[in-house]
Amino acid sequence: MATGRNIRTYVDGAWHSGDAAIMRAADHGAWLGSTVFDGARFIDGMAPDLDRHCARTNRSAKALMIEPTKTDAEILEIAREGLAMFPRSAPVYVRPMYWSLNSEPSAIMPKIGAEHTGFALCLEEFPMLPEEHLVSLGRTSFRRPVLDDNVVNAKAGCLYANNARMLREVGLRGFENALVADAMGNVAETATSNVFMVRDGVVFTPIPNGTFLAGITRARHIENLRADGIEVVETVLTFSDFEAADEIFLTGNLNKVTPVGRFEDRTYEFGPLTRRARQIYWDWAAGQAV
């Protein structure tokens, strides 16, 4: 990411200080985009679902035809080893990643096999948003792809160029993030995270339909909310549904729960169910200390 500080990088079996060089100019990942990654968080000694994020790194690699070189447990152990270098109070972003080193003679296809795979794990101190920060959302003309078009079943670097143009488009109109449609015109997610809305005391979220990655943090919130007695409905949602919502919040690894204060001309409060979702998440995470 190289946007944080105090960066530590694991590559080629050793830890390095700083934003270490990990890729060559001729690597398939450098010029043809065969990169996958995952992101986890270390906050106040807690590392929520770190094991699941490590495991998804390997699933993403396989979806992009990259042969993983580490087991789920090995990635987890490398992450824990690196996190021990940081103070407990440090807000650390954890990013394991793979890329293809070589390509088939046609160049487009990555070569299959562990000897053709690069691996690194980067740790950097990266603060979370202030708790009371309410994000603004705008409509974007760009949509989420489908599995027939792209590798939406992986956390792949090649998907993020589309996300970037969503953010640039709404950013030019003064919004921080974009509420994004799927191929059928229904709400899928935002440009950076999954999305929930609240109406009449019920929590709703778009049902996974093969156009967006249903996140690990999203699944954890659904589980936690239901265990707390709150009804959560996964369903098809339109932009009109979000305009009529009482609350909207985003979920993702970077900030866990982010309240929405504005969607286009509609404004929202940092509501009670959004606050409850955040509270029960961190109550649960307290049992996940590294």
Query: Are 158 and 250 within one domain?
Result: yes
Query: Are 29 and 148 within one domain?
Result: no
Spatial distance between the Cα atoms of 247 and 270, rounded to a whole number of angstroms? 7
Query: Are 98 and 199 within one domain?
Result: no
Q: How many domains does the chain have?
A: 2
pLDDT of residue 254: 87
Q: What is the DSSP letter of 130?
A: P
pLDDT of residue 131: 87
149, 166, 193, 237 from 139: Cα distances, Å? 22, 9, 15, 15
Contact 253, 217 (CB under 8 A): yes
Query: Are 248 and 273 within one domain?
Result: yes
Tell me if 130 is assigned to some domain.
no
Query: Which of 162, 285, 213 has its CA nearest to residue 59?
Result: 213
Query: Are 87 and 159 within one domain?
Result: no
Q: What is the pLDDT of the chain when averaged over all its residues?
A: 95
Between 288 and 21, where is the model more confident?
A: 21
Average pLDDT over residues 206-225: 96
Confidence class for position 209, pLDDT limits 50, 70, 90 = very high
- Identify any residues that bridge with 110 across adjacent strands, giving them in sequence order: 103
pLDDT of residue 107: 84
pLDDT digits (tens, 9 = 90+) for 126-159: 999 998 999 999 999 999 999 998 999 999 999 9
Whether residue 289 has pLDDT greater than 70:
no
Query: Which of 138, 53, 39, 51 has its CA nearest to residue 95?
Result: 39
Whether residue 272 has pLDDT greater than 80:
yes
Average pLDDT over residues 231-236: 98
Mean pLDDT lowest among 3-7, 66-70, 115-119: 3-7
Query: Are 121 and 223 within one domain?
Result: no
Q: Domain range holding 230?
A: 135-288
Last residue of a domain, one of 81, 100, 125: 125
What one-letter code names the amino acid at 90?
A
Strands of 26-148, DSSP E: 35-37, 40-42, 92-100, 117-125, 135-143
Strands of the chain, DSSP E: 5-11, 14-17, 35-37, 40-42, 92-100, 117-125, 135-143, 177-181, 187-190, 194-199, 202-206, 232-235, 247-252, 256-263, 266-267
Query: Are 159 and 78 within one domain?
Result: no
pLDDT of residue 4: 75
Residue 211 sits at φ, ψ, to 5 deg, of -110, -10
Tell me if 218 is assigned to some domain.
yes
For the record, the structure tokens of 51 come out as 């094991």
Strands 5-11 and 187-190: unpaired
Whether residue 1 has pLDDT greater than 60:
no
pLDDT digits (tens, 9 = 90+) for 65-113: 999 999 999 999 999 999 999 999 999 999 999 999 998 888 888 988 9
Query: Are 183 and 163 within one domain?
Result: yes
Tell me if 239 is assigned to some domain.
yes
For the record, the structure tokens of 1 come out as 């990411």
Task: For the beta carbon of residue 158, count every other beta carbon within 10 angstroms.
Answer: 16
Average pLDDT over residues 211-218: 95
What one-letter code names the amino acid at 153?
N
CATH of the domain at 163: 3.20.10.10
Last residue of a domain, one of 93, 125, 157: 125
Confidence class for position 281, pLDDT limits 50, 70, 90 = very high
Average pLDDT over residues 170-176: 98
Spatial distance between the Cα atoms of 215 and 164, rounded to a whole number of angstroms? 19
Query: Are 50 and 174 within one domain?
Result: no
54, 68, 116, 178, 234 from 39: Cα distances, Å? 8, 17, 23, 20, 24
Percent of the chain with pLDDT over 90: 91
pLDDT digits (tens, 9 = 90+) for 39-66: 999 999 999 999 999 999 999 999 999 9
Query: Are 121 and 160 within one domain?
Result: no
- Identify any residues that bridge with 195 across adjacent strands, giving them in sequence order: 250
Query: Are 144 and 230 within one domain?
Result: yes
CATH of the domain at 102: 3.30.470.10
pLDDT of residue 287: 79
pLDDT of residue 106: 81
pLDDT of residue 290: 59
What one-letter code names the amino acid at 248?
I
60, 65, 112 from 55: Cα distances, Å? 9, 16, 20
Spatial distance between the Cα atoms of 144 and 211, rounded to a whole number of angstroms? 6
pLDDT digits (tens, 9 = 90+) for 251-270: 999 899 999 999 999 999 99
Last residue of a domain, one of 125, 151, 186: 125
Query: Are 71 and 182 within one domain?
Result: no
Exposed (0-12), middle (13-18) or buried (19+): which is 87, by Cβ within 10 Å? Answer: exposed
